[in-house]
Amino acid sequence: MKLVLYLVVMAGVTYLIRALPFALCRQKVKSPFLQYFFSYIPYAVLAAMTLPHMLYEGENPFCAAAALVLAVILAVCRCSLLVVAMGACAAAFVTGLFF
């Protein structure tokens, strides 16, 4: 019963976090600064979730460092997300073969 209660509370909190901005802000955001700020939130959240795991969960930190460096280079070159992810995986794999 506790598990069901926890799931219901989590679902409610998640729904409120997503629905509350739509309920409070009925007009389109006109501030260029806020539009620019909101456009980078998904990338910042993705980086905050994946970067710690990428650096600390693997067996070899050299593999993680090589993958991170290549991913940053590919991202700066404006490659697609798929290319960045595949390049980072390949860099980690190849580095793992040598270390």
Render each residue's pLDDT in the chain as its tens digit; 99 residues.
899 999 999 999 999 888 888 788 778 888 899 888 888 888 888 788 888 888 887 788 899 899 999 999 999 999 998 999 999 999 999 999 998
The reply to whether 81 falls in a domain is yes
In the block, tokens 């930190």 appear at 61
Same domain, 99 and 54: yes
- Distance in angstroms (rounded) separating the CA atoms of residues 75 and 91: 14
Total domains in the chain come to 2
In a domain, 35, yes or no: no
Q: Is residue 60 one of the residues assigned to a domain?
A: yes
Dig out the tokens for 91 from the structure.
Answer: 């860099």
Position 71 in a domain: yes
Question: Does the pTM of the predicted model rise above 0.75?
Answer: no
